């Protein structure tokens, strides 16, 4: 039985590589209109979890379900997910205009949405350039467009906010929030707790491939024994780095 109304559910995701449990029974679900931030220390398994979620890695056990049905083939996953990988720059030789046009065609994005994203992500001045000529932040903005312009129910973003200055970040957070408000479910791995605080409706905290906590920021704060505390303190407390309520 699935969780009613969930855009996607992950159930019991388990992955072992070289004898190490990279994911160990991860469960969560995300609803349309919701932004779920996946947080955790380096090496916690965030990227692996997202890759399993979108079908690019096959877990040893567990399933990803959409509409009550377990997704199997890559084509099934492609109908559900738009994905922005971390640190995977678009091909250097391709012009930004070609990349944007390709994403529009693949995603069947309405022209108005494509135009809005182009403007809000500040891509219009870049369309004449090739991807290889872009700065890191510009490349990330293009990569965000490629994921957000796809008309898929769930948008999965791996470290989408890391490359931006505070001013740009406000714009980017607003764009992502707007896609969620338009009915998409957004799952984003986030390294900076302050970013997660600004964007997330709920937070999934994982460590060593296991779910440490899952809920709203308030629920996590209560669980950590630090109601109303900033997410960073809650994070440290739940991981045993200080504060009350650290997991056993």
Provide the binding-site residues for other proteins, judged by CB under 8 A: 51, 54-58, 73-75, 77-79, 81-85, 87-91, 93-95, 98-99, 101-103, 105-107, 125-126, 128-130, 132-133, 146-147, 150
By DSSP bridging, strand 185-189 and strand 35-39 are parallel
CA distance 162 to 144: 12
Shortest CB 63 distance to other proteins, Å: 13
If the CB atoms of residues 15 and 237 are measured against other proteins, the closer one turns out to be 15
Q: What is the dihedral of CA 24, 13, 205, 81, to 10 degrees?
A: 150
| Cα separation, 213 vs 203, whole angstroms | 8
Element (H, E) at 148: helix 136-148
- Residue 197 CB, nearest approach to other proteins (Å): 27
- Smallest gap from Cβ 213 to other proteins, in A, equals 29
Q: Which is nearer to other proteins, 17 or 228 (CB)?
A: 17
Give the list of residues 6+ apart from residue 213 with CB closer than 8 angstroms, or none: 203, 204, 205, 219, 220, 223, 224, 238, 247
For residues 78 and 178, which CB has a smaller minimum distance to other proteins in the complex? 78
Minimum distance from CB of 234 to other proteins (Å)? 31
Give the residue with the Cβ less far from other proteins, 91 or 241: 91
């Amino acid at each position: 039985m699935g969780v009613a109304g969930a855009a996607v559910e992950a159930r019991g995701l388990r992955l072992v590589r070289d004898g190490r449990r990279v994911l160990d029974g991860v469960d969560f679900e995300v609803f349309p209109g919701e932004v779920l931030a996946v947080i955790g220390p380096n090496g916690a398994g965030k990227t692996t979890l997202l890759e399993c979620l979108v079908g690019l890695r096959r877990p040893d056990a567990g399933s990803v379900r959409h509409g009550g049905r377990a997704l199997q083939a890559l084509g099934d996953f492609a109908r559900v997910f738009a994905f922005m990988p971390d640190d995977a720059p678009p091909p250097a030789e391709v012009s930004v205009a070609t990349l944007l046009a390709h994403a529009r065609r693949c995603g069947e994005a309405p022209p108005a949405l494509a135009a809005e994203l182009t403007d809000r992500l500040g891509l219009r001045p870049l369309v004449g350039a090739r991807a290889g000529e872009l700065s890191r932040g510009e490349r990330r903005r293009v990569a965000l467009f490629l994921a957000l312009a796809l008309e898929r129910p769930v948008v999965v973003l791996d470290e989408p906010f890391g490359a931006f200055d505070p001013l740009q970040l406000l714009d980017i957070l607003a764009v992502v929030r707007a896609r969620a408000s338009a009915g998409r479910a957004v799952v984003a791995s986030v390294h900076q707790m302050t970013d997660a605080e600004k964007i997330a409706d709920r937070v999934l905290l994982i460590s060593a491939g296991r779910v440490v906590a899952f809920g709203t920021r308030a629920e996590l704060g209560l669980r950590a024994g630090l109601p109303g505390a900033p997410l960073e303190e809650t994070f440290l407390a739940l991981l045993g780095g200080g504060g009350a309520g650290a997991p056993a």
